[in-house]
Amino acid sequence: MNLARHASVLWRFRRVTAGGVVIGLILAFLAFYDVGAGQPRGTETWSAVSQILVTQPGSPEFRVTLPPQPVGVAPTEDSTTSEDDSKQGPEFADPGRLAALADLYSKFLTSDLVLRRVPEHPPVAAINASPFASSQGGQVLPVIQLTTMAPTAELARSTNIHTYKALVDLIDERADKDKFERVRLELLVAPAVSLADKPKPTASVLIFMLVMLGTVAVAHLLEAVRSRRQAQSLNAIVDWDAPTSSLIDVSSADPSREPAVVASGGGNGDHRRQRT
């Protein structure tokens, strides 16, 4: 059946077609939008991305050179109490160690040690942390990118901040317990929130297509019933089972010939003439 046939059938039953279109649009809208809640059905996914700098007191990342540290010299009582040593700044760790700590803390941010301290109690799949790689040579930088996912923008932002603070609290707790110089974590970039995923109208499109297919099927069914009724009416008017001998061949009749006369009568000899 070609497209013109479909179009003619749909136009002949245009009321059914219009009703199917209206019903399909209404059902598609209700499948996508929750009227009672006043919002689209499904859940949105928001992401918050922040950057954390792994450093130490003394800001070594802003220094051109690090102060030299004596190697192989045992500390003495005089050296520890001398005025020169009191003016000496803090000892700096190897910059490569800070980059390695950034990679390590990326794993800590998705561990139970940190996530159980977060008040939102996010699942592990909602937290993603990875160290930054240098644009040259792929060297790991002492910077962590923290990404948190949540159904709302505010929840994604608060989860990001609380996850960062949970790692800081863990480091402070261990430093107070074991008495060592702690690593400093600074929020380099505040959480930036964006919409990662929104509800898709896949169900609405599918429902509308199903309703339209049903409308086309109903229109063709009505067309079949209409054609059958027309055929029955035509059969009732014309008797197709009548014998062909009863039909008069007008073209073979001779107009100059008079009608035949059939004689009939009784025993008294009266004759009547009857035209045939």
Question: What's residue 215's pLDDT?
Answer: 92
The structural domains of the chain, ordered by start, are 42-61+92-197 (3.30.70.1120)
- Whether 158 contacts 120, CB under 8 Å: yes
From CA 121, how far away is CA 159, in angstroms rounded?
A: 9
- The pair of three-digit structure tokens given for residue 214, joined into one six-digit string: 């049903």
Q: Does position 9 have pLDDT exceeding 70, yes or no?
A: yes
- Whether 162 contacts 118, CB under 8 Å: yes
Regarding pTM above 0.75, the answer is no
Dump strand ranges (E) for the chain: 33-34, 39-40, 45-55, 127-133, 140-150, 184-197, 261-264, 272-275
Q: Please, is 203 exposed, middle or buried when counting C-beta atoms within 10 Å of its C-beta (0-12, 13-18, 19+)? A: middle
Reported as a single tens digit per residue, the pLDDT across 213-249 is 999 999 889 988 888 888 887 777 765 555 555 544 5
